[in-house]
A and B are shown apart, each in its own frame.
Chain A
Amino acid sequence: MNIVPILVAHARAAYPHRAAVPTTLADRPDATVVRLGDTVVKAHAPGTDPTHLARRLDTAAELPGVLLPPLTPAAENLHGRPVTYWPYGTPVDPTAPAAAPWEAVATLLARLHRCAPHSALPPMRGPAKAARAITRLRAALRTAPHPAARPVLDAWAALPAWARAETPMPTPQAVCHGDLHLGQVVRHPAPDGPWRLIDVDDLGLGVPAWDLARPAAWYACGLLPPDDWTRFLAAYRRAGGPAVPAHGDPWAALDVPARALSAQTAALAITRALAADRPLDGIERAVVDACARMPAP
């Protein structure tokens, strides 16, 4: 079933004065996002836990200085998928990576991590998503082997159980975004309002270093320039973020999440390369190479 036209019709009914031409911002199995003028409507993944999503939406509504607040307090149900409404915000300019708002993202994360959690906030889903990527890789390998898979699976096996979503995450925990990357910040009001974090689907209580781990992993894999990493980390520390010590080596806290996210990224890359019958690109190979250098199980 193509959810996009159904979503557009639903949004038009909810906001009849919106005359804009719909634009599909994302259409993946886990999320379909359509923009209608200054409104964005999102169909969440089938099987989304409605109670967990409700607590996540509450958090977004309660922290408007950090997270983009939803337009409506609760999700609607559309053919079994929860649907939420959001104001449109301007994303990071993909043609200007040098202008990426590393300081702003780091400051927002530090603020989020310092928040008192909403009661009954579910766990942050970072480790669960990494585990899902590994499960998908294993499934793809049953049809076709891939020479890059071994170091990735070994790197995964060497991680502690919590990072593989086999046990609860250790304490101290904080409110975490759970899936931080540069596609998860927008300026609101568009086009030049302050930056806000979006996409609460993976938000929850967990190890806050997980939110720093994607940039950390890109840096460790040799893909993010040291300057960008330094800007990000320094801004997080200036804002009093609790995920890493205020001074000294941050890697005692970052190492496990950065290894997990590298394994996740590499697993997704190999799975996609197998499905498309194409070789890994230079970035994907760099992440696999980093997995090969990680400690053995």
Chain B
Amino acid sequence: MQCPKCHAPMRTYNRSGVRIEQCGGCRGIFLDYGELEALTQLESQWSKPAPPAPPAAPQGYPAPSAPAWGGSTRKPPGRRPGGFLLCGRYWD
């Protein structure tokens, strides 16, 4: 389907059994009838922070698998992604 806002193609992700459509362009999320309630219900079952939004996979490629505790891919603020990996502060 196409994003109703920016008309870019939307991709389907499965988060904890709930299917979510996310726009590859503006990253907006589309929920079917009842899915918001399903997510709210899931959230209430978890006392821990829920995994954030679906991963920002490169366009047209499926994201590689990740563990259940994995989060979304986000750009570290003010840095090029991956650049921090070269900063010894995070290893030693």
Q: What is the interface of chain A, defined by CB distance below 8 A to chain B? A: 26, 28, 30, 92, 94, 97-98, 100, 179, 181-183, 214-215, 218-230, 233, 249-251, 254-255, 258-259, 265, 268-269, 272, 282-284, 286, 289-290, 292-296
Contact = CB atoms under 8 A, between A and B. Distances in A.
B64 A183 contact: no
B74 A286 contact: yes
Given A250-B65, A292-B48, A221 B70 contact: yes
B71 interface: yes
A225 B70 contact: no
Contacts of B67: 220, 251, 254-255, 258-259
A227 B88 CA distance: 22
Interface of B: 48-52, 55, 57-58, 63-74, 76-92
Contact of A223 (B76, B88, B91): B76
A97 B90 contact: no
Given A94-B87, A97-B85, A100-B85, A226 B63 contact: yes
A221 B71 contact: yes
Contact of B57 (A226, A228, A295): A226
Contacts of A282: 76-78
Contact of A183 (B49, B82, B88): B88
10 contacts: A94-B83, A181-B85, A218-B85, A220-B67, A225-B73, A250-B65, A251-B67, A258-B67, A290-B70, A294-B69
Contacts of A94: 83, 86-87
Contact of B86 (A182, A222, A255): A182
B65 A228 contact: no
Contacts of A181: 85, 91
5 closest residue pairs by CB, A with B: A222-B71, A97-B82, A220-B70, A94-B86, A293-B69
Nearest to B72: A222
Contacts of B81: 97, 223-225
A250 B74 CA distance: 22
Contacts of B55: 222, 226
A226 B58 contact: yes
B47 to A, nearest CB: 9
Contacts of A183: 86, 88, 91
B73 A226 contact: yes
Contacts of B70: 219-222, 290, 293
A286 B87 contact: no
Contacts of A229: 64
